[in-house]
Each structure stands twice: as C-alpha cells, then as structure tokens.
Chains A and B, each alone.
Chain A
Amino acid sequence: MLVVEKLRKTFGNHEVLKGVHLTVKKGEVVVIIGPSGSGKTTLLRCLNVLEMPDEGTVTIDGKQLQFANKPSKKEITNFRRLTGMVFQAYNLFPHMTALENVMEGPMTVKRLNKHEAKEKAEQLLAKVGLKDHMHMYPFQLSGGQQQRVGIARALAMEPKVLLFDEPTSALDPELVGDVLKVMKDLANEGMTMVVVTHEMRFAREVANEVIFFDEGMIIERGHPEQLFTHPKHDRTRQFLKRIQ
C-alpha cells in the first residue's frame, strides 16, 4: 500500500532523513517511536509532502512521487488526497463547527453536494462518539473531542493511508483513552495507519510492526512484542529504558 524508498531530507546542513526505506501493507498499523529530534515526525510529514524530501520516492496505492525530479504543485496536491493526516495540535478549522470541519474536505475537494457531505460527516462524527457535539465550534470542545473531530475530518476524504503525528501528545492524560480507542477501532476495521506516538501500550496492543527511529534512520523494526521485550540494538534498549 505504502512504499518509501531512499528518502532523504536535509534542513540546512543537518541531514534529518538519511535514506529511509519503509513498506506498509494494506491494513497494517505501523508505529514509529524514537527520541525527539530523531526525524520521525519529518518522515511522517514527507509522506504527504508537508515537507518536501530532497530525494527518494513515496508510492501509495500504486501512485508514485519521485522527489528528485521536483513534482509540480498539482501532482503534490493530487498525491496528498491519498493520505489523511491527524495532527498533534489537532489544527481544526476554528471558524467551522465540528460538522463543517468534517464536511469541508468532501465539499471543497471532492465536490460532494452539501446533503451528501453532511450525511457522511454525521456518520463519521457518530463513529468517533461525537454525535451530540456536531454543532459545536472547536473552542467549545475538549482536546480529546477536538482530536476525534480531526480523525473524522481525515476519514471523510477516504484516504488509503492515515497518518498520525503524535495524536495524543497534547492531551490531558484522562482524555487520551478516548482518542486511542477510536484509533484502535479504525485499526480493527482494516485501516492502513502510520502512527508516530509515545503511547507504548497502544503500540503493543495495536501495531503490526514497531519501528525504532533515531538520527534519521530506522534502527530497528519488528513485531511489538519482540521489539519491546528483546530489542536487538543498544540504542533501542536505552530509549525503551528511558521512557518506561
């Protein structure tokens, strides 16, 4: 479903991604962990070209972007429609209600009419447990509720792959559970997901594969049980020790 090859990205003279390879099969959940500054968020943001990689390719559902030959804005925009993204800071549109946030993509990008978009948005909001909060503005919702709207908004575009950038890092601890539950449900329904997170329990319970990322490279990858209990590399071991 998702294939990343030789992905490189440099900020100034700091090489953030040093030729990353990654394959995610349809329906798989891949969790990326690693210290801050390791480049894991940059990697995720390169997958939908919010950061422009210098080199390499990303292929999603058979459609490929080659970054060495500078894809056009139009190619990038079309490519982005294959993925959905959930942000650490939610990034909901503050001037729209929860419902309008979820309707926005389908109406503006997919040209759905208002009626169809609304019906779909209502279903999605019900699915993330916010049926009763549809008409509220983001500022009237808790962080956990906002993030669930963010997930519904991303789902509304029917992406092939859903990207999560530390979706629970900005949340109060007691609100994390609701968001993780929605993510778990999605995983169980067969959604292909790439998740950057510090939630090790989520990684353990949901991930098909966990990737330990550091200094712009994949250091180690494996089944969560194996990676968490028998890490092969020292750096992985040190990192896991520090966060537990």
Chain B
Amino acid sequence: MLMDPERLDRLMNIAQSSLLPLAKGALLYTIPLAVITFLIGLVIALFTALARLSSIKGLQWTARAYVSAIRGTPLLVQLFIIFYGLPTVGITIDPLPAAIIGFSLNVGAYASEIIRAAILSIPKGQWEAAYSLGMDDVQTLRRIILPQAARVSVPPLSNTFISLVKDTSLASLILVSEMFRKAQEIAATNYEFLLLYTEAALIYWVICFFLSMIQGNVENRLSRYVVR
C-alpha cells in the first residue's frame, strides 16, 4: 500500500499548514523581487541597448563587455560573488539588496539584446520621417521608435520575466527568505521533501500562468494599430 489513511492525513495537514508561509514567501519576496528587478533591469537594458547602438566607440565597447560577462557566467555564480565574495573586500550587502543587484544586472544584459533587436527592427523610413519633421535623435526615439519597438519586444521580454520569476528561487542560496527557501525550511523539519517542493513548483506555475495571461493582454493592447 503506497499510502495509508494516516499518512495521507498527515500530508494533507502539512500541505495545508505550509500553504500560508509559502504564499507569504511568494507575495512578500518572490513576486516583489521579480517585479522590482525586472523594472530596474529594463532601465539598464534600455541604456545598454542605446549604448551599443550609439556611434561612440567607448560606450559600445562597455556595453558589449557588460553583456558578454553577464551572459557568459552563471547567475548563481554572480549572486555568490555579490553576496559571499564582495564582503572579503569590505563590501557587505544584505541578502535582499544583493539579490536585487544580481538579478537586475542579469536581466539588464539579456533584455538589452531584446531591446536592441526591437529597435533595429523598426524600418529606417520611420527615423527619416521623424527627422524630416525636424525631430532630433532623442525625440525620434521617444516618440516614434521606442513605442513601436515596445510592441515587438513584448513576447521576448515576457519570456525573460517568466524566467526571472523562476530564477528568484536561486536567491534562497544567498539567504533571501523567498518562497523556495520557505519550502526548504519547512521540509527540513518534517522531511516531506517531495510534498513541499511540489507545492512550491505548483505555486511558481500558477504565478507564471497568470503572467502569460497578462502578456496576452499587453500584446493585444499594443497591437491595436496593426493588421490582424
């Protein structure tokens, strides 16, 4: 017999009593961490993309080096360097800020490539039309190019965001008490690893499911001006 009634009872109890702490971990850490770092990451990404597209060699080169370093190293290693490594040179950062810095830099690098590609996908005629009205580069970007690039970049950026939500579980390893760390802590007391980790997995799935729905809405809203 795989499961006698008593054990089933115990599992149900644990599942129920762990739901609140896990939900708390998700609502207080996982989701805010993902949202905040995504927003910071987008700002970094925009400036990185513009730096790479600029004609100033120094800027181009800096942006390239940043993207290459972030994409060429594991996220977990980046987090460890920030949280466990930097204190040895006298820079001590608390777990949550360390996670925010690490994830933001990571998202910034990946999203910059998306934004760069989106900007490049807008036809040259759009720049020329804006220039011919007397707009400068900044006005053209802000009013004409970026609004169109935004539409193009929603699907790939959603991908990045969904990955980020799941990657926040790595913050458990630098002591942020986000959802997965909560699951580990509870499992350590009752040894129900399969149950707790599956529960955490389901919560991630639910969050990502809703994010996909939001993505659909945003896409529809930004696509009102294209033929469908």
Contact surface of A with B, Cβ cutoff 8 Å: 48, 50, 73-74, 77-78, 80-81, 83-85, 87, 89, 91-96, 104-105, 108-109, 137-139, 153-154, 157
Contact = CB atoms under 8 A, between A and B. Distances in A.
15 contacts: A74-B136, A78-B134, A81-B134, A87-B129, A91-B129, A93-B126, A94-B148, A94-B226, A95-B151, A104-B144, A105-B133, A109-B133, A109-B139, A139-B227, A153-B133
Contacts of B144: 93, 104
A105 B134 contact: yes
B189 interface: no
Given A50-B132, A108-B143, A109-B134, 17 more contacts: A73-B136, A74-B136, A77-B131, A77-B135, A80-B133, A84-B132, A85-B132, A91-B123, A93-B144, A94-B225, A95-B148, A95-B225, A108-B139, A109-B133, A137-B225, A153-B129, A154-B132
B226 A50 contact: no
B125 A91 contact: yes
Contact size range, B: 20 to 34
A157 B136 contact: no
Contacts of B137: 73
Contacts, number: 73
B132 A48 contact: yes
Contacts of A137: 224-225
Contacts of A81: 134
Interface of B: 123, 125-126, 128-137, 139, 143-144, 147-148, 151, 224-227
Contact of A109 (B135, B147, B227): B135
Contacts of A50: 128, 131-132
Nearest to A79: B134
A51 to B, nearest CB: 10
Contacts of B227: 139
B134 A95 contact: no
Contact of B136 (A77, A87, A105, A138): A77
A137 B133 CA distance: 19
A154 B224 CA distance: 25
Given A89-B125, A93-B144, A80 B131 contact: yes
Contacts of B147: 95
B143 A104 contact: yes
Nearest to A84: B132
Contacts of A95: 147-148, 151, 225
Contacts of A74: 136
Contacts of B136: 73-74, 77
A236 B148 CA distance: 44
